Amino acid sequence: MPAISVIVPCYNAEKYIDQCFDSILAQTFADFEVIAVNDGSTDGTLAKLREFAQRDQHIKVIDQPNGGASAARNTGLVAAAGEYIAFVDSDDYADPALLQTLHDGMLRTGADFVRCGYVNVGQNGTETPFAQESAEQLLGKTELKNRCVKPLLGPSSDMVSAVQGEQTEPIPIHTLCAALYKASIIRKTGLRFDESLPASEDAMFNLAFALHADSLLFVPQNLYYYVHHHGSLWQGIPRDSVRFMRNRQRLWQAKKELCNHYGLGDDFRSCYRRSVVLATVQTALIMTNQNGPRFWVGRTEIKAMLRLPIVREAFKTTPLKGLPLIYKLPLWLSKCKLAFLLWLCCKTVNLAGKSPYQ
């Protein structure tokens, strides 16, 4: 049995797969297998994977019809034999010390999962390092919930602090890669990726895993490289804002269902409710930017969003008292279901160039 199973979902990754797999095979840690899942690629991805498998016995290739990244990762979880699980996306790459560093941390502390910092690589090749903490930290169950689970559900502070971007020293666990997971927890609980979610399925998997875990080790080294290509999620938002809006609504529901499934209290539920409140305005800003849909489509979609039960529940239970008018006005319009006035307010903000979602 290998110590680590590295699961790599692959879809039309012919351009990037060499760099990805070269970086995996260059790891200083040797006791691992690679489960490469070809998810119905229509380019030369499968042929390249088979070439790699012929060259290196670490690699096992699984070919399946296209089902999305979650389906490919779930297939990888079923096939994985390792004591620990790592995930790498086929268009990203890893530092040679990634697996060794994460594995050493796991053995040294007995943590249920270990995370490291990462580097965002832009389209022009610029690298932006990201490590939330400057020193290694080991979080127990209570800290894990307060500093990881709650912030991922939504703002864990009051609304005034939330709109100003203030959080209580969160450690982000939204990314799936740059981490090592105890496979025993995944197998015991039957954790899988939600194949019905078109986005943020990795964050929801991490939320569920964190609720089963007793500890998390964070190491500050930046050992994983997230490569951002043209057509990534946030770059595609302005051109497909209606789909983004509906995907966001499905994520809200998934967070609520997770709270119900794990019997989480109001201190957790208030986090996702604040997230819903803030996201209604964010979504309206996206719907009314220069690439958004026509007026009637945008207004109709915003009107439908404001009437969703989960949105009504969020506004009913989230106080807006103490907010500056510039923040309170669009939130109040949302709370009162004034779709046209919210559309007009957000459109004005966009025309004035004050929205971050241009």
Instruction: Of 246, 234, 259, give the one whose Cα is nearest residue 314.
Output: 259
pLDDT in tens, 48-100: 999 999 999 999 999 999 999 999 999 999 999 999 999 999 999 999 999 99
* Residue spans of beta strands (DSSP E) within 48-112: 59-64, 84-87, 93-94
Residue 138 is encoded by which pair of tokens? 């080991």
Residue 60 confidence (pLDDT): 97
Q: How confident is the model at residue 155 (pLDDT cuts 50, 70, 90)?
A: confident
Residue 211 is encoded by which pair of tokens? 């609720």
DSSP 8-state assignment for residue 139? E
Q: Domains of the chain, with CATH numbers?
A: 4-227 (3.90.550.10), 236-351 (no CATH)
Instruction: Of 101, 84, 77, give the one whose Cα is nearest residue 180.
Output: 84
CA distance linking residue 287 with residue 237, whole number of Å: 9
Examine the pLDDT at 357 and tell me if it is beyond 60. Answer: no
CA distance linking residue 58 with residue 255, whole number of Å: 37
In whole numbers, what is the pLDDT of the chain averaged over residues?
89
Cα dihedral: 120, 126, 128, 129 (round 10) = 80
CA distance linking residue 132 with residue 169, whole number of Å: 9
Contact 35, 9 (CB under 8 A): no
Q: How confident is the model at residue 236 (pLDDT cuts 50, 70, 90)?
A: very low
DSSP 8-state assignment for residue 237? G
Q: Average pLDDT in the 131-154 region?
A: 87
Q: Average pLDDT in the 17-29 region?
A: 96
Examine the pLDDT at 171 and tell me if it is beyond 90. Answer: no
Indicate the SS3 state at residue 129: strand
Residue 168 confidence (pLDDT): 55
Indicate the SS3 state at residue 5: strand
274: Cβ–Cβ under 8 A, 6 or more apart, which residues? Answer: 154, 155, 159, 162, 314, 318
pTM check: above 0.85: yes
Examine the pLDDT at 237 and tell me if it is beyond 50. Answer: no
Cα dihedral: 257, 260, 264, 266 (round 10) = 90
* Residue spans of beta strands (DSSP E) within the chain: 4-10, 32-39, 59-64, 84-87, 93-94, 113-121, 127-130, 137-139, 179-182, 216-227
Q: How confident is the model at residue 131 (pLDDT cuts 50, 70, 90)?
A: low
Percent of the chain scoring above 90 in pLDDT: 69
Q: Give the Cα-Cα-Cα angle 155, 176, 125 (nearest 5 degrees).
A: 100
